Amino acid sequence: MTHVRTHARQRPIQVVAHRGASEDAPEHTLAAYRKAIEDGADALECDVRLTADGHLVCVHDRRVNRTSNGRGAVSALELADLAALDFGAGRTRAFWRGRDEEPDWQVRPEDPEDTSVLTLERLLELVADAGRRVELAIETKHPTRWAGQVEERLLELLKRFGLHAPASPEASQVRVMSFSARSLHRVHAASPTLPTVYLTQFLTPRMRDGRLPAGAGIAGPSLRVVRGRPDCVERLQRTGHQVHVWTVNEPEDVDLCIGLGVDAIITNRPGAVLRRLGR
């Protein structure tokens, strides 16, 4: 059965660069985010973790082994330790393609800062200097381990940039995403107008009925969920929730998301998705 959207879209589909333009440059680096902005991405996705000395850095894995020339857990390293590593040295592109080979990046970083560890603060500066509105979708990693510290630091930092308490969720330039409902609940309790995205790899019975956990405003199902239950998109939207789908890279999957009228496509290939959308 083919599922297509039956009610009119309010806004264009947002294109969100997953870890930056992470097929063209090493993920979570300035190089990848600059490329995503150049490509025209509407928003940038990043994962954040706390270092041993309390800085929020943009690193996906618990350890730095895959994405840098170093070893060890982010939570056990200080920012100065991470700053000594090269995050352009990882196997990231090959990882996405499921092959164990040296990456062949389209973007060749010239400045060491382009591939050094990226703090969330530096990413916020990049967004502030973008010259156009670029949104930020920040995913909290391991929020249970740190018992509220990730969210606390995140909100402190957003406050410094004047982004912590938007007039409304619709007006917000930033949203917080998590697989942890508890993390989103903390953010929502501290800043009720900051949009929150509940990420899931399976469809809970509650979501099947179009409902999300308390504190979550937007649904973030994986592509696999949407492929298996495409009707969930309209169900969630009819109960007032936007639907942001990850990680959508192949043309046929982009077409599926367009046909279903999802609200945001989170992709490693923002340029290609924008072209597919005719933008």
Alpha-carbon span 179 to 201, nearest angstrom:
9
Question: Could you tell me which stretch among 44-52, 118-126, 166-174, 231-239 binds Ca ion (CB under 5 A)?
Answer: 44-52
**Residue-level length of the chain:** 279
Interface stretch with Ca ion, choices 39-47, 91-99, 214-222, 234-242 (CB under 5 A): 39-47
Give backbone dihedrals phi and psi of 14, rounded to 5 degrees, phi first: -80, 140
Q: Binding to Ca ion (CB under 5 A): which residues in 135-164?
A: 139
Is 3 an active-site residue? no
96 forms part of the interface with ligand G3P (CB under 6 A): no
At residue 9, the 3 state secondary structure works out as coil
Mark whether 60 is an active-site residue.
Answer: yes
Identify the active-site residue in 28, 55, 60, 244. 60
| Alpha carbon distance 257, 267 (integer Å) | 12
Pick the closer one to ligand G3P by CB: 17 or 163: 17
Q: Between residue 126 and residue 155, which ones bind ligand G3P under the rule CB under 6 A?
A: 139
In whole angstroms, give the CA distance from residue 243 to residue 14. 11
Find out whether the peptide bond into 247 is cis, omega within 30 degrees of 0: yes
What is the closest distance, in whole angstroms, from the C-beta atom of residue 179 to ligand G3P in the complex? 7
Write out the DSSP string of 61-115.
SSBSTTTSS--SBGGGS-HHHHHTS-TTSS-HHHHHHT--S----SS---SGGGG
Q: What is the CA radius of gyration of the chain?
A: 18
State which residue, 107 or 266, has the beta carbon closest to ligand G3P: 266
CB of 236 to ligand G3P, least distance (A): 16
- Cβ-based neighbours of 236, under 8 Å, separated by 6 or more: 207, 210, 212, 219, 243
Q: Mark 240-269 with x for binding to Ca ion (rule: CB under 5 A) and - for no binding.
A: ------------------------------
Q: Which residues from 36-75 bind ligand G3P, rule CB under 6 A?
A: 45, 47, 60
Please, what is the minimum distance in Å from the beta carbon of residue 266 to ligand G3P? 4
Q: Taking CB under 6 A as the rule, does residue 246 contact ligand G3P?
A: yes
Residue (22 or 51) nearer to ligand G3P, CB = 22
Residue 236's H or E segment, with its range, is: helix 231-238
In whole angstroms, the minimum distance from the beta carbon of 111 to ligand G3P comes to 26
Question: What is the footprint of Ca ion within residues 185-204 (CB under 5 A)?
Answer: none
CB-facing half-sphere around the CA of 31: CA atoms within 13 A: 23
Catalytic residues: 18, 60
Which residues make up the interface to ligand G3P (CB under 6 A)?
18, 45, 47, 60, 139, 199, 246-247, 266
